[in-house]
Amino acid sequence: MKNFSLKIKAFTLSEMVIALGIIAVIAAMTIPSVVYNVNNRANSALLKKAVVKLNDVVELSMSESRFQPYPKCFYNRKDPTVTDFTQCKELYTFIKENLRTTKICDTNGLSEGCIPQYKGKDTVFKENNPEPPADATQEEKDKYQEGLEASTAGCIGWSYDSLKTKTAIVTSDGITLIPYRNDFSEWPLLAVDVNGKKAPNRFGYDVFFVQLYGGAGEIPSFDAPVYCEYIEKGGYTTQEMMNFTKERFE
């Protein structure tokens, strides 16, 4: 009988190191993308949840005679230049009273701990449009200044300085609502931070805008805004985030 010896070929140390290096490179390339997509899906779901809760409370307000047949606080959906802000202040009070909240900052959301310091519409403009150098022409400097002023024209409530003095509502599920005007008396616009003070606190990432629409016998409801929306570089508009599906993130 012949004796047979079984030879087992193993990986050398250098081959193992190369294989592990390749795996590490692939992981470094794919993990950030996977995490980014997971966060987007989560934030999309939270934004939709916030809008549903807000609209439920608006519909609930119609059970009170003062808000019948519907609360007079909206931009007309077909023509947003047509508005009725008569009951906006009352409606906002009703929203605060009927949302499940953990904290309400009625004076200053930043100093009272409801919100972090957000970037204003003017701040984002500066980041996306570097200031002209000292040796730039006067025309270039004037053009830059005009763009900076235009960035908050009609939307001064979302400027960096204005965001320092915002009131805020923190809901029981960690969503923060910030009105364009502190008492909601006009301009029924809200910034919605879907995960509260948890990072990144960036517009278009985890902070979005909603606007109250209605008119022509329609029950007012919050939806993606027409006015004053802005996003930080790489972010998404409210409409894009509301329309996101699982497949779109992959």
Q: What are 186-211's pLDDT values in tens digits?
A: 889 999 999 999 999 999 999 999 99
Q: What is the pTM of this model?
A: 0.82
Report the alpha-carbon distance of residue 217 to residue 194 in Å, rounded: 30
What proportion of the chain, given as a percentage, has pLDDT over 70? 84
**pLDDT for the residue numbered 66:** 94
Average pLDDT over residues 232-249: 80
Q: What are 1-58's pLDDT values in tens digits?
A: 555 555 556 667 776 677 666 666 665 555 455 445 678 889 999 999 999 999 999 9
Structure tokens at 238: 């409210």
114 and 176 in contact (C-beta within 8 Å)?
yes
Among 32-46, 66-80, 130-144, the minimum mean pLDDT is found in: 32-46
Query: Is residue 247 pLDDT above 80, yes or no?
Result: no
The H or E element spanning position 95 is helix 88-98
Report the alpha-carbon distance of residue 108 to residue 167 in Å, rounded: 5
Task: Tell me the pLDDT band of 246, cut-offs 50, 70 and 90.
Answer: very low
Provide the b/e sequence for 100-126 (b: ≥16 CB within 10 Å): eeeebbeebbbeeebbbebbbbbbbbb
Query: Is residue 222 pLDDT above 50, yes or no?
Result: yes
**pLDDT for the residue numbered 158:** 96
CA 148 to chain centre: 22
Among 113-117, 129-133, 189-193, the minimum mean pLDDT is found in: 129-133
| Burial class of residue 74 (count of CB atoms within 10 Å of its CB; 0-12, 13-18, 19+) | buried
Query: Which residue type does 120 have?
Result: G
Report the alpha-carbon distance of residue 231 to residue 237 in Å, rounded: 7
Task: Tell me the pLDDT band of 249, cut-offs 50, 70 and 90.
Answer: very low
What value does the mean pLDDT of the chain take? 87
